[in-house]
A and B are shown apart, each in its own frame.
Chain A
């Protein structure tokens, strides 16, 4: 991967941005989801509706927000509502097409852990920030996308804690006779620095469906804590276009300048 003209982070964000269709209503997490959603808005999806949990609906920031409640989100939004309203009327009300989340760890069903790693709940080895809006974003959005770096530490066989639900296992959905565990389709895609995963229609297990250019199946397997299944027709993520790269780098440079930090390369 060393001779590519772009970084792993760039291809991850670009691959995610491409999936966002124009006009989609997207509930955006901070960090990589926000970067991808804003890249989409600056390229092929100018009318994507970005909702941040601070209550900003239709935010159109010119730089990426450092936090979920940056002033620019409010200034550029179509509407600014209270936190109870954003979760009740807009998320729980079923108005969100895509809930776009980051994660510390996931398992093969797309369950997310952002709470504790190791030890016990009361006395963990590593205390993570916790749930935020994710448990309800994961179950009230029509579908959920997850973006994170892929490694054997982040893609684990068994989570210490399930903060936000993924796909119900086939046995669970059969056992649940009345109502499905989650209302929407749950996580439908996981985008990483190595490739893209989607749930197998029969087993619900996240399966590798695409690799970014220059990444091998062996590398993806080595970076996965469970026995990674590979789709029959494995695709390759098209290389970033000149426009995509230039737009993303502009966005990152503006962001770095606005937040007074060294430019990340």
Chain B
């Protein structure tokens, strides 16, 4: 799943949790709340990432608990930098076996990651970082619009989603709405329908992240998550009530707003 602090596919992540998937290798440049939820519910045995935090708030407590205390299950990690992860997706999308970048100079990261090594430029002799291409089994992203043919339009901060879709063997795109005509401005970020396997209409599917042009991020939720996720039991109870005991994302939203109305009197 990708979404660089925008258009994060929360609805899809919740469905993965509802279906009780286990032993997944999760890949994401910026694992944040939805990955914290998936990790805390034991969906993942491995995480490939470059920055794991709750942006502007602090730690991801479930991510930390999994790495520091192996709760609820051990989580193996493979860690890169942003520039490298982006280059690895590009290599994967380009059909190349590895990515090249001027990266990790003086950093300890490659010592702990066998997917990163070095390559010598055949023309200049410069030693550059080489990193294994990324070709996920499935890429899941969220976007603003798709048309009936599955052409997908992404607007605003486009992040790494296009590369993730093109690097993956299969792709699923959730969208705010399916429209008759995409009306995409020329040169905008459009992923043609014939490289997309599935499109699902899930209005609000990026909540509590945002969808440019549709709704803003729910910063209050991102802050509240710090408290919900800090304690294992509080976290489990919250996930049970709002995710496992709800049938879909719309029901999750209703369940959450009912709780919030109570909290605000």
Contact = CB atoms under 8 A, between A and B. Distances in A.
Interface of A: 30-31, 53-56, 65-71, 73-74, 80, 82-84, 87-88, 91-92, 111, 115, 121, 123-127, 129-136, 138-140, 161-166, 168, 178-179, 181-183, 259-261
B88 to A, nearest CB: 10
Nearest to B102: A92
Given A182-B106, A261-B223, A131 B68 contact: no
Contacts, number: 174
A209 B24 CA distance: 51
Contact of B105 (A69, A83, A91, A139): A139
A119 to B, nearest CB: 8
Interface string B62-84: 01100110000000000111111
B55 A30 contact: yes
Given A130-B52, A259-B219, A54 B82 contact: no
B219 A82 contact: no
Interface string B24-63: 0000011000000000000000000111110111011001
Contacts of B50: 130-132
Given A54-B6, A111-B106, A132 B51 contact: yes
A80 B23 CA distance: 36
12 contacts: A66-B217, A67-B5, A67-B55, A69-B157, A71-B210, A83-B29, A84-B86, A88-B101, A131-B109, A135-B81, A139-B106, A161-B108
A135 B104 contact: yes
B106 A55 contact: no
A115 B89 CA distance: 22
B102 A127 contact: no
A55 B83 CA distance: 12
- Measured as residues with beta carbon below 8 angstroms from the partner, the interface class of chain B is 35 or more
Interface string B200-224: 0000000000101000110110110
B109 A135 contact: yes
A94 to B, nearest CB: 10
Enumerate the 10 nearest inter-chain pairs by beta-carbon distance, A residue then B residue, closest first.
Answer: A165-B106, A69-B5, A67-B55, A66-B56, A129-B53, A132-B51, A87-B83, A84-B86, A136-B83, A133-B82
B81 A136 contact: yes
B108 A71 contact: no
Interface stretch (B159-167, B174-182, B230-238): B159-167
Contacts of B159: 54-55, 69, 82-83
Instruction: Name the prevailing secondary structure of the A interface residues.
Output: loop
Contact of B163 (A84, A140, A168): A84
A71 B6 contact: yes
A164 B56 CA distance: 21
A139 B5 CA distance: 24
Nearest to B88: A84
B137 interface: no
B160 A92 contact: no
B157 A74 contact: yes
A141 B52 CA distance: 23
A127 B210 contact: no
Contact of A88 (B49, B87, B125): B87
Given A54-B157, A131-B109, A71 B89 contact: no
Nearest to B218: A260
